[in-house]
Structure 1
Amino acid sequence: MRNQCGIVRDLLPSYIDGLCSNESKEFIEIHNKSCDACREVLNQMKTEVSFPNEKDRVERLTAKKPFKKLKNILIISISSLLILAVILTAIVFEYLNQPRPVDTNSIIIQEIVIENNQLTVIGDTAHSALWYSGEYEINYDGVETLYLIPRYRQVSKENSSGRFVINHEFRGELLELDLASINKIYLQGKNPSDIRLIWER
């Protein structure tokens, strides 16, 4: 029996790892049914494999922590980059979508009508990328001249072309303006010095 115990205990590591042959496995199991000492050794070995000592457990947990920290840093970095990309996209879109005056040589005036206290200007743009925003500004010099500033966007849902029609009814500050006294209308661009005469009485 003692000789068998020595053989069985030599085979137990392979038995636990599932590496021994079927014959050896059967031999160990038959022997352990009748040998309390070998059965106890087997149980002890299984416990040590399943539950390593505290030092080993702490070492394994500590070894995993750097990778966990690296994973968290990576997730935070990617999330931050995505948020930054969304913010930058929104800023660029807002910038492109801001209505702004353009160079006067980019605008083609087709018709101007002044009647019944209303100014109508029909025009187009020489560049298809400049879409009329529907916004404009009219300034009066207080004597005889109006300055028209149509505003365009590079991105627009309102108008997919550069064509525009301005129907301006004079009211508010210009309510008392006598259109009969207007002799000139200038188109004004983004620079105050960029003006072009588009109508003269």
Structure 2
Amino acid sequence: MSKVSCEIVQDLLPLYYDNVCSDDSKRIVEEHLVECESCKEELYRIKADFILPKEEMERNKNDGNAIKGISSFWNHSKTKSFIKGGIISALLLSFITLGYYGLFHWHITNVPIEVVEIKNVSKLENGSIVYENDITDGYSIYRIKYDMDEKGNFYLTPLRPIIKSKAQPPYSMVKGYDIFNIEGQEMNREGAEIKALYYGTPEDNILIWKKGMDLPKASEEIEDMFHFE
């Protein structure tokens, strides 16, 4: 099987953390985590900060029950009319679900940098860069896209769905500290050297770090925050 990208695994991590993904997806994530330090850090971040709203958990549960109900109906249906009706209902449900997730859950919209503040950049004892971010417009983000160009510029791009939702405590990735492991990311990219780290896109970004920059040592409190057994 071909190697799964970090972007796919990071999209699966919230489902993996909440134990609502398939067994195959769970196996893919766990095999990837064995070798990928950056995706481990993403899982740590989710464990520390991410709280799935109760309404969404209930929705996921209801969706699962609905799918099981459709499957049961299909297996026990004995007439062609019921089968035809089931097919039409399944198609309608698929279109509605795709539309819903496309608007509310597919993270495809970049967060404008004018609503982002990056501060308190420092370095952990293990060499990882740690920084504090604050998204000031009050809307949630739950995904950071990792990308690197041929010049060694690495971009952390915050993404949202088309329809935004208000941020709720404890704010997940909207407010708080985040880490970036340069050595781990270089290993994931077959040794390609990272020369600069930016928050945003190539066209709209904030510089976090560049090679040769002397970063202060992280405080003891921050070290404890990112110390995982």
Tell me the TM-score normalised to structure 2 length: 0.37
Q: Which has the larger radius of gyration?
A: 1
Relative contact order (C-alpha < 8 Å, sep 6+): which is higher? 2
Tell me which protein shows more strand as a share of its residues: 1
Tell me the TM-score normalised to structure 1 length: 0.41
